[in-house]
Amino acid sequence: MTSEEESRHFANRWGDTSEPVPERRRLRQDDCACFDQSRPHPRARVGFHTERQDTSAPGWLRLLELIDEAASDEREEFSPLVVLSPEERRQIITLPPSIGRLTMVKHLVLYGSNFVRVPPEIGTMTNLEEFTPYTSYRLHWFPYELTRCEQLSRSTVSTRALFGNDKLRPPFPRLRPGLESASDLALGNLDPRRWGTTAIHACSVCDRPIEQAGLRQRWISLRVATDVLPLLVNACSSACIAALPGGAPDYTPTPHKGGRVDQPPSDWD
């Protein structure tokens, strides 16, 4: 579902995380000024969110416990935010890599999260059929590894918050030049301002360890389930870049490095 209006019919579908009152929403979600999500400004510059996860925060520690519980009981729906307080939700800006353990989960609900990124380990959730990060307004992109969830057929995303979306055509963050060798990078402690994430361990395409090869980043917009999503590719070689598919219809047709790349007109032009 790609329209905010269409989803208002399901305001209470995901429990108390769907609270529509702005004052209460601010208790669990920080403001985002990366770009105007209501009016098109395609010439603006954008960047990655720079926040790092506080792994000592109570909300983060509770999320780790909830993942352990879900992995143990092999549940098919995982909605961790509904059992956290607003302050605990606000403390979580990403899922932990351990989310990849939830191989039995069919529906992942992250409604109203404060997330700024999702880890590539989500690609190992092989039974995932439905993904709901709706009203996560600071979540502007997803890892290419999400395409590995071959059962994924339904999504509910606030598309006006996405880089390159067809309503507003905001730009993409400019990616750094490719590296022939990643041996000098602290791959487990990266600067998210530069790389978009704090850790890159494997190639998004072939799964080869990045530390044994180079690093080339690209953007690509692809239809994943219900929505066209901007995906960040961390590739180990030019061959893996060449193996990427073409972009979704009415989006930039080839993988690109971001910045002020030419995009088709927005729906509002």
Q: How many residues does the chain have?
A: 269
Question: pLDDT for 153-192, tens place per residue?
Answer: 999 999 999 999 999 999 999 999 999 999 889 999 999 9
What's the pLDDT band for 15 if we cut at 50, 70, 90? very low
Q: Residue 264 to residues 72, 246, 253, 267: CA-CA distances in angstroms?
A: 46, 15, 10, 9
Quick one: pLDDT at residue 25?
Answer: 63
Q: Hey, where are the domains in the chain?
A: 17-34+47-242
Q: Residue 86 to residues 18, 43, 141: CA-CA distances in angstroms?
A: 12, 35, 23
pLDDT exceeds 50 at position 14: no
What's the pLDDT band for 60 if we cut at 50, 70, 90? very high
Return the number of other C-beta atoms located less than 10 Å from residue 219's C-beta.
26
For the chain, the farthest-separated pair of C-alpha atoms sits apart, in whole angstroms, at: 51
Average of per-residue pLDDT across 48-52: 97
Q: What share of the chain in percent tops pLDDT 90?
A: 81
- Joined tokens for residue 199: 């850790």
Average of per-residue pLDDT across 215-226: 98
Question: pLDDT for 73-102, tens place per residue?
Answer: 999 999 999 999 999 999 999 999 999 999
pLDDT exceeds 90 at position 68: yes
As a whole number, the mean pLDDT across the chain is: 90
Q: Single out the residue of 207, 64, 218 nearest to residue 141, CA to CA.
A: 218
Residue ranges of E strands in the chain:
77-78, 107-109, 130-132, 142-143, 154-155, 216-224, 227-235
Q: DSSP 3-state assignment of 43?
A: coil
pLDDT exceeds 90 at position 40: no
pLDDT exceeds 90 at position 234: yes
pLDDT exceeds 80 at position 44: no
The residue ranking higher by pLDDT, 23 or 173, is 173
DSSP letters along 95-136, please? --GGGGG-TT-SEEE-TT---S---GGGGG-TT--EEE-TT-
The model's pTM is: 0.90
> Sheet holding 154-155: strands in order across?
77-78, 107-109, 130-132, 154-155
